[in-house]
Amino acid sequence: MKILLTSMMALGAAATLAGAADWPRFRGPDGAGLGAAPDLPLPLAASNQLWCVKLPGTGHSSPVSCGPRLFVTCGENATAKRTVLCLDAASGRTLWQREFPSKTYQQNNDNSYATASPACDAEGVVVTWTTPEEVLVVALDNAGNESWRRPLGPFVCNHGSGSSPVILGDVVVLCNDQDDPQATPQNYKKPGAPKAAGKSCVVALDRQTGAPRWQLDRRSSQAAFATPCVRRTAGGAVELICANTANGLTGVDAATGKIVWGTATGFARRCVGSPVFGAGLVITTAGSGGAGSELVAVRPGAKPQLAYALAKPLPYVPSPLVLGDKLILWGDNGQVACLRVATGEVLWREKVEGTFYSSPIAVNGRVVNVSKTGDVLVLAAGDQFAPPDRLALGEKSFATPAVAGGVLFIRTYTQLFAFGHKP
């Protein structure tokens, strides 16, 4: 049954943030999309709403959380002004907000001026703002003071940008992947459109100062919107796993920027969903026109091996999710598939109501996703399909949920909801 929630802040006791787990980046720790909230009642109900706040702008970025602080970004459609908002995670109370003037520019109608999610750690938050003239990375401390800013040069992509920064120890990493108009001429036919290729790279900045630590230059073709995931090896190495059209899948040493491994070929189409590492495999998708058309599962190493490849139907914008021995593929059109992650064998594929840009995450072994119209779906990842439970928030949402301190956070276009156990 659908329940329409009001946008008023829930009254009563604030949530007790059970546990100390953070959600410091897009799709949580290492980009795996795996969260725990042992006391969170699933399926959700209106009575589980702890608070809801009206945001000072719109956007599609996901919230992130470190310790007691929750960070989210917003944009203003008329002026492109960007805002960073810091909230008390337990109550939703605003601790501070900082505004960054900008200017409007052409981008995809489904994009926003706040699509890239922030990244946080114990020292504060890092955000990235993009215009055609400049990719800008900005660090703020926990009081909202600007610690540093680092411009990375112009940005070439008529769709706008979407890749989010990642904090890995003492560096901030961003996949700055851009279009080559010669490779995507259909997007560059208007007068005044860029003719030169964007300068794609993966860049690491010093977390304390913003100074460049390393830069890995990349070939450009179709700009990717994927945020890298992280692979931690048995030997203690930390690899950044990047996916884009021209270069395929690449494992990059996070400390040095050196390529550790990579696929021999790229993809035929654009990488929008982010890669995921789980069960010893790196899995990513590519597609075009609102539908995924190829998926690869690669066993990383000095000589990476293709475990399997799948053709459509596949997701385009939503990222894959590895949950135990299952692989969840949540399609933009609502077609959801559950596969054996080791082999790609399809256990079931079913259509659920709605269309989706949000990427699924796992909470307490259940799969949670949000439709474009703002319905929160909770699905069991069993060997047999069971219809999902559904809760309507009453406003569109393209943002991926977050889980921290035992609380589920869901961002709609202009609001931020918190769900959890009420004492």
- pLDDT tens-digit series, residues 194-205: 888 889 999 999
Computed from CA positions of residues 399, 400, 401, 402, in that sequence, does the dihedral angle turn out positive or negative? negative
Mean pLDDT of 147-158: 95
pLDDT (0 to 100) of residue 190: 77
- The full DSSP string for 114-183 is S-SPPEEETTEEEEEEEETTEEEEEEEETTS-EEEEEE------TT---PPPEEETTEEEEEE--B-TTT
pLDDT (0 to 100) of residue 324: 96
Q: Out of 113-117, 150-154, 220-224, pick the least confident.
A: 220-224
pLDDT (0 to 100) of residue 128: 97
Print the SS3 string covering 315-355: CCCCCCEEECCEEEEECCCCEEEEEECCCCCEEEEEECCCC
Computed from CA positions of residues 16, 22, 25, 27, in that sequence, does the dihedral angle turn out positive or negative? negative
Mean pLDDT of 135-139: 97
pLDDT (0 to 100) of residue 125: 98
Q: Tokens representing 6? A: 């009001």
Residue 345 has pLDDT above 70, yes or no: yes
Q: Render the burial of 315-339: b for 16+ CB within 10 Å, e for the rest.
A: bbbbbbbbbeebbbbbbbebbbbbb
Mean pLDDT of 106-131: 95
pLDDT (0 to 100) of residue 107: 92
Domains and CATH numbers, the chain: 29-419 (2.130.10.10)
Q: Residues with Cβ < 8 Å from 170, sequence gap 6 or more?
A: 206, 207, 208
Length of the chain: 423
Q: Residues with Cβ < 8 Å from 85, sequence gap 6 or more?
A: 55, 56, 71, 72, 73, 74, 94, 96, 97
Residue 16 has pLDDT above 60, yes or no: no
> Under the phi-then-psi rule, with left for phi > 0, alpha for psi from -120 to 50, and beta for the rest, what region is 31?
left
pLDDT (0 to 100) of residue 6: 33
Mean pLDDT of 171-175: 98
Instruction: Please give the model's pTM, rounded to 2 decimal places.
Output: 0.93
Q: How far apart are CA 244 and CA 225, in angstroms?
A: 8
Residue 353 has pLDDT above 70, yes or no: yes
Write the pLDDT tens digit of every residue in 20-45. 489 999 999 999 999 999 999 999 99
Mean pLDDT of 121-147: 97
pLDDT (0 to 100) of residue 423: 78
Determine what percent of the chain is predicted with pLDDT higher than 70: 95
User: What phi and psi values does residue 30 have, to the nearest 5 degrees?
Assistant: 60, 10
Mean pLDDT of 120-144: 97
pLDDT (0 to 100) of residue 183: 80
Q: Render the burial of 60-80: b for 16+ CB within 10 Å, e for the rest.
A: bbbbbbbbebbbbbbbbeeeb
Identify the band that residue 408 occupies on the pLDDT scale cut at 50, 70 and 90.
very high
For residue 327, CA distances in Å to 149, 192, 324, 344, 362 come to 38, 44, 8, 8, 11
Identify the band that residue 192 occupies on the pLDDT scale cut at 50, 70 and 90.
confident
pLDDT (0 to 100) of residue 189: 79
Residue type for position 289: G
Average pLDDT, the chain: 92
Identify the band that residue 133 occupies on the pLDDT scale cut at 50, 70 and 90.
very high
